Structure 1
Amino acid sequence: MAAITITNVSKTYPGASAPSITDINLTIQDGEFIVLVGPSGCGKSTLLRMVAGLEEITDGEVRIGDRVVNKVDPADRDIAMVFQNYALYPHMSVRENMAYGLKNRKTPKAEIEARVAEAARMLELGPYLDRKPRALSGGQRQRVAMGRAVVRQPAAFLFDEPLSNLDAKLRVSMRGEIRRLQKRLATTSLYVTHDQLEAMTLADRLVVLNAGKIEQVGAPLEIYHRPASTFVASFIGSPAMNLLDAEVDGNRLRIGSHVIETGRALSARGAITLGIRAEDLQLSASGLPFKVDFIEELGAQRLVHGQIEGQTLVVTLDPQVPLQDEMRLSVTSEKLHLFDTISGKRLDHAQAVAAATPVLA
């Protein structure tokens, strides 16, 4: 096991007008599970592939343990990768697929057998060791790919969207298997996904990428409850955080003709973006007028979509609560998030709101 240190790393493809990765700095501690998350094209797979040695680094440095690995071949970096498409040899059995890398490294036969047997036990692959990949389900194939990585006993695991080809139910169970396996082995892991729910449930820390740059790094709940920008607020969370156009006037926030009394003067002035999580809104006898457009029934909860002052908003409500076409909503002021309208960055002084708890009125 080893830490991974990424220092001032950039990547520009030949002929490109702009870099796809810009000045990335990140340290993954020994045994830590880091998830790179972001929309398609944000650079997360490119960054992973540079760590793996499958993409050349334009600028900067990658260390695995104490070694700078910029010029080290992928096979010599002491890492193991699990890919989206399994990458299994179809003519080999499960046992042979798992053992293949060790055989190439001239590992003694007895040690290969012991490692394969242990990985098969951990991943419940014992009954399938003599089968070919075509006789396995998608989930079983992915477990074989994981087993092949495990037997290597590498310094780090690299996962490139390994669950993308699985159905929704299987993705949930495989997430649990991956997390349990990583905790048991305590191997440094770097995992790429575009699925924010997958990222939230797996990570020790999330790295949210946007247009080739790091937008925010932190524990999943830290990022959820205190997003650093409107991009993070709209990407992390399901449903996404509500983002409303508002104005600051002393200790007041205005949304259209309606006023939120915060109870403390705010240093910002003029137009801002106000963020509110769907679950932080409640029905109220007074508050902001909310006109219902449509409802999503999810069983344990209900997502109600509508408008406040002509701006779209989603609220999470108990399915047992009776609904009307028009309602009023309130929220305690500590649940409000303020962002700069131009840059999208979080306004730190917005935390002054937390000292008071009046409701929207």
Structure 2
Amino acid sequence: MGQISFKSVGKTYAGGVTAVSDVTLDVAEGEFIVLVGPSGCGKSTLLRMVAGLEEITDGEIDIAGRVVNRLDPADRDIAMVFQNYALYPHMTVKENMAYGLKNRRTPKAEIEARVAEAARMLELQPYLDRKPRALSGGQRQRVAMGRAIVRQPAAFLFDEPLSNLDAKLRVSMRMEIRKLQRRIGTTSLYVTHDQLEAMTLADRLVVLNGGKVEQIGKPLEVYHRPASTFVASFIGSPAMNLLDARVEGGQVWLGGAAMGPAGRAEGPVTLGIRAEDLRPAPASQGVALKVEHVEELGSGRVVHGHVDGQTLAVSMAPGLSIGDVLHVAAAPEALHLFDTTTGRRIETRTRTAELVQ
């Protein structure tokens, strides 16, 4: 049983500095949860509280049916994979993977079987007699994962395990981690500041900001229906366009153009539009954008310009150059409205109807 429950969990340091505030979350057995957010948002602190490396100031954390607030790390039935691998340099790969089991006085035959199985899954058999210094960064990270796997814990905790790897290796390693987790089925909490990594790995995302949860949901749900301007700007590349607009007569107006219906909202709003949702439109139906910069991405391009004095990014096919003027518009269902004061999402009738369907 590998369920993890957070009940109003908080962490306040001496001096009244709050790192995590009122986090409530139920993680199902076998679920892969990614905690994502900028540096200092509280994601690593939350993971360390699960591991027992940080004291829990408020609330309760339950692992596999036990409240663990006062349990030592060794008694929590978890295994942690760190950013810096934390391998013993004087031990071989095999000895590193077996070390935790030996400390728990696991029978030798069982240790041999568990290490052999983990090495097979991680394709580490040729390296079992090597020392960490003779391995690449990706191989060392697989050894760190193998050391966690042989424990057969109730939950895996990953603290930015790919941060030290180059971009190409990060892509291949995150695929390995996801395939491995699906095969083993162990409940996992994974911390990262990389929103692309979060989107590709998670069953559900927990987006944190300033120690508080901004949104919890499946990756595509969070991407297509951000709960706040923070989530809209953090999840997605390029970030969602966020523009000062106004609602009059049931329409969203930007730069003198009616963009679409706005439901019951009225007055100033923040209008969000993804770059890929903007399309060329007749001058009478869109806003004018003068191209000021072009990002060539190989598979496509993103053009940048200004509308009504505000920056706008648009994903476009080849054929545009700096100085060109184009008119763009978006389908009504691609418009996101946010409260200008709170930054929270405002639902429109169009979006509500879409949900019902």
Retained in 1: the 8 A contact 2:10–2:19? yes
Q: 1:129 Cα deviation (Å)?
A: 0.4
Provide the rounded CA distance (Å) in 2 between the counterparts of 1:260 and 1:6: 41
TM-score (norm 1): 0.95
Deviations 1:248-268 (A, max 9, x none): 012221213333342xx6211
Contact 1:82–1:158 (Cα < 8 Å) also in 2? yes
Residues 133-282 of structure 1 mapped to structure 2, 5 A cutoff: 133-262=132-261, 266-282=263-279
TM-score by length of 2: 0.96
- Cα distance in 2 for partners of 1:234, 1:267 equals 24
| Residue 223 (structure 1) shift | 0.4
Q: Is the 8 Å Cα contact of residues 248 and 266 (structure 1) preserved in structure 2?
A: no
Compared CA separation, residues 32 and 256, structure 1 to 2 (3 A): same
Task: Please show how residues 319-338 of structure 1 align to structure 2 within 5 Å.
Answer: 319=318, 321-323=319-321, 325-338=324-337
SS of match in other structure, 1:130 = coil
One-letter code of the match for 2:184? Answer: L
Instruction: Decide whether the 8 Å contact of 2:9 with 2:23 is kept in 1.
Output: yes
Query: For the Cα contact (< 8 Å) 1:334–1:354, is it kept in 2?
Result: no
The size of the alignment, in residue pairs, is 351
Aligned to 1:159, what secondary structure does the other structure show? strand
Change beyond 3 A, Cα 1:62–1:73? same
| CA offsets 1:23-73 (integer angstroms, 9 cap, x no match) | 110111000000000000000000000000000001110110111100110
Given residue 152 of structure 1, which amino acid in structure 2 is its aligned partner? R
The amino acid of 1:340's aligned partner reads D
What's the secondary structure of 1:19's corresponding residue? strand
Cα deviation, residue 285, structure 1: 2.7
Q: CA RMSD in A?
A: 1.3
Corresponding residue number in structure 2 for 1:108 = 107
SS in 2 for 1:12: strand
The reply to whether residue 79 of structure 1 matches residue 78 of structure 2 is yes
Say whether the 8 Å CA contact 1:333–1:354 is kept in structure 2: no
The 3-state SS of whatever aligns with 1:20 is strand
* 1:180 to 1:261, Cα distance in 2 relative to 1, 3 A: closer
Q: What corresponds to 1:3 in structure 2?
A: 3
How far is 1:148 from its partner?
0.2
The residue identity in structure 2 corresponding to 1:60 is G
Amino acid at match of 1:67: R
What is the distance in 2 between the residues matched to 1:117 and 1:235? 41
Q: Is the 8 A contact 1:334 1:351 kept in 2?
A: no
**1:58 maps to what in 2?**
57
- Closer, same or farther in 2 for the Cα pair 1:279/1:52, shift >3 Å? same
2:251 is aligned with what amino acid?
Answer: R
Give yes or no for contact 2:250–2:266 (8 Å, CA) kept in 1: no
Give 1:12-31 correspondences, 5 Å limit: 12-16=12-16, 18-31=17-30
Cα distance in structure 2, aligned partners of 1:303 and 1:250 = 33
Instruction: Please list, as runs of the form range in 1=range in 2, the aligned pairs for 1:94-133 lying within 5 A after superposition.
Output: 94-133=93-132
| Partners of 1:177 and 1:329 in 2: CA distance | 40
Letter in 2 for 1:148: R
Taking the aligned partners of 1:92 and 1:57, their CA distance within structure 2 comes to: 34
Identify which range, 128-137 or 251-260, moves more after superposition.
Answer: 251-260
Output the CA distance in 1 between the equivalents of 2:144 and 2:212.
30
Equivalent of residue 280 in structure 2, options 256, 280, 283: 283
* 2:350 aligned partner: 352
1:351–1:190 CA distance, 2 compared to 1 (3 A): farther
- Does 304-313 or 176-185 show the bigger shift? 304-313
Q: Which residue of 2 aligns with 1:359?
A: none
Quote the offset at 1:310 in angstroms: 1.1
Q: Partners of 1:351 and 1:234 in 2: how far apart?
A: 23
